[in-house]
Amino acid sequence: MSDTLTALLLGAAVSVAVATLTMVATSLVARAQGRVVVVDTAWGLGFAAIALAAALLSVTGAGDGEPWRTWLLAAMVASWGARLARHLHLRNHLGEDPRYERHLGGTLAEVGLGVAVRKVFAVQGAAMALVAWPAAAAPFAPLERPWVLALGTVVWAVGLIFEALGDAQLAAYKATPRDRRRPVLDTGLWRYTRHPNYFGDACVWWGVWLAGGVASGWEIGLATVLAPIAMTYFLVQATGAGLLEQTMMKRPGYPEYAARTSKFVPLPPRGGTRQPRTP
């Protein structure tokens, strides 16, 4: 068996095993709390657990990766996951997210845990295992292209800053009294993209793919390229911007904001002006 195939298989095994354990534990917490939204917090923590598990297994002698890169990748993924988990926990620590109720067709108590496992926990566990694959495989493969590792780290850093700053600007907007804020947040990063946090998230995972997948060789890069593609799809169409905008388009001022502002990739605003503050 080739070293590349070994790295891919070991990475896949770690990803699937840890993602499965994460979602099993999360479903039990959800049942105890009666809320599916706890999966949002587990999403970031699960990625951190996968990266750390792969790093620990690698440095014990199971892999051929350089320890310094192994821990660099683990730190990249774990820091992203911990920040996101904290942010979502603070946002969702009370009550249920209405989007999950719409997706499930009712509350967790009404539909039962089995439906939630099938529609949410199993799906998110599979997505987690796929997206984390480059980061989980890299510790078992030697570094072949240091310049790609450097490029990936820069893309990851830009994404993390973009995501964190976008979340901070949104939190500040929500904390401002309604009579003193604009009907729609269209300042800062939100002037150039309607979803700077999701765009930053996508950059993080393209950076991880470069630093973990492509930097380990084109074979691993090509084998795992579906990971950042899938994450980008989730963020743009499936569980991210696409789902959120079904609700946001009903808010006063948002259709006008959407008409002049890029949905995902930051671009200069199209014609028009920003919304005035509510009088």
Contact status, residue 213 vs residue 137, Cβ threshold 8 Å = yes
Q: Which residue has the tokens 């587990």?
A: 42
Predicted local confidence at residue 276, as pLDDT: 47
Tens digit of each residue's pLDDT (9 = 90 or more) over 239-252: 778 778 888 888 88
46: enclosing H helix or E strand: helix 38-57
Structure confidence by residue, pLDDT tens digits, 145-164: 999 999 999 999 999 999 99
pLDDT in tens, 113-155: 999 999 999 999 999 999 999 999 999 999 999 999 999 999 9
Question: At residue 146, what are phi and psi to the nearest 5 degrees?
Answer: -60, -35
- How far is Cα 45 from Cα 48, in angstroms, rounded to an integer? 5
Q: How many CA atoms lie within 13 A of 51 on its CB side?
A: 28
With a CB cutoff of 8 Å and minimum separation 6, the contacts of 20 are: 125, 129
Q: How far apart are CA 220 and CA 213, in angstroms?
A: 5
Among left, alpha and beta (phi > 0; psi -120 to 50; other), residue 257 is alpha
pTM of the model as a whole: 0.90
